[in-house]
Structure 1
Amino acid sequence: MNNRINIVLFGIGNIGSALINKVLKERKELALESKIDFRFPVITNSSVAFFAKEGANFSWEANFIQFSIPFKMEDVVSYVLANNISNLIAVDATADAKLPSQYIKLIQAGFNVVSVNKTVADLPADFKENVKLAASVRGLESTFVHNAKGDKHAAVEKLFESLIEIAEKQKRLAA
C-alpha cells in the first residue's frame, strides 16, 4: 500500500513547475521503492487555482489553463476538508510577501508547510520559530528552504528532499 501525500502547490513559476515535473518524473520509482504516492490536488498561481478531481487524467499544465478559477485561501482549505484530503503539504514556491502570513492558518488546517519563498528572509527573526512551534504542537512539519539566487535546480532538489522527508515521517507515524 502506498502512502498518498497530497501537495498543495502555491506558485507555478520556475521552481513550482520544475517541482511538479520532477515529482511526475520520479512518481513510479517512488511508488515502487518508497511506497510514496505524491498527488497535487490543488495548484495555484497568484490569482487562480486548479482543483483536481479524482480519476481525472493528470496533465497539469493543460488542466491549469483550462479549469483554473479565482480563489482565496479559504477556498483551498474548504476544498481539502470537504474532500477529506489528508497527508497535506503546502508548498510555497512563490515570492508573495503575503503568503507566509497564512502558514499558521494552513498548519491549523492540518497542512505541513514547505517554503522556498524568499520574502521569509525579510520577516522578523522569530517568524520561522513561531511557524515551527505551531507545526510541532500539531505533529506537523515546517521546512524553510534557502534558494541560492538563480539556482532553480538546487531549490527544486531541496524541496523534493523535504517532501520525501515529510512523507517518510508520516509513513512511520501511520505504521
Structure 2
Amino acid sequence: MRSDSFDERLLRWIDGHQVDALTSFSKALMDVSEASGFWMAVGLIGLVVVVYRRAWRVGLAVGLASYLGGLVSGQLKEIIERPRPTYPDALVQVGGYAMPSSHACFLMAVSIAVLIVVEWRPRRALVLAATGFVVVQLLIAVSMVYLGAHWATDVFAGWALGVPIGLLCGLVFRKRARSA
C-alpha cells in the first residue's frame, strides 16, 4: 500500500491519538464481536422472538442476510487477498485477509434486511431502529480500524457489499401490499 494513501494516513493519525479508555473499549467490543458464544446467544434470543411473535419473514430475512453476508464477504476475501494493516503500534493482530470487512458486511446486510422487512409502527420506531443500527455500525467500524484489524476502506467495502445483500433479503421477505 502506498504510504500516502488514505488508509495509511488515517492509521498514522490514529497511532498518534490513541487513548487508554478508547483502546479498552475497542478491545472489549472486538472480543464480544469475535465470541461465538455471544452470537449463539443472539441467535437463540432472535429465534425465540421470531417464534413468539410469529415473525417468520423477519427471521428468514435475517437468517438469509446473515448467511449471505458471511459467505460472500468470506469468498471475496479469498479472491482479493488484501493483507491486514501492519504498523508499529497495531493494537491487535488478526489473521486472515482484510477486504471486505466481514463484520461490516454482515451487520449492514442484517440491518438493511430488518429495516425493510419489519412493519414499523409508529414511524418513529423506524427512525429509532435505523439510528441504533447506524450507531452499532459506526462503533464496530471505528473500533476495528482503531485497533488496526482493518483498513478503513475494508469497512467501506463491507458496507457497500452488505447494502445490496440486505436489500435483496429484505425485499424477498417483505410483506406484499394487497391489491385493491
Indicate the structure with greater strand content.
1
Query: Over alpha carbons, which structure has the higher Rg?
Result: 2
Indicate the structure with greater helix content.
2
Q: TM-score, normalised by structure 2?
A: 0.30
Q: TM-score, normalised by structure 1?
A: 0.31
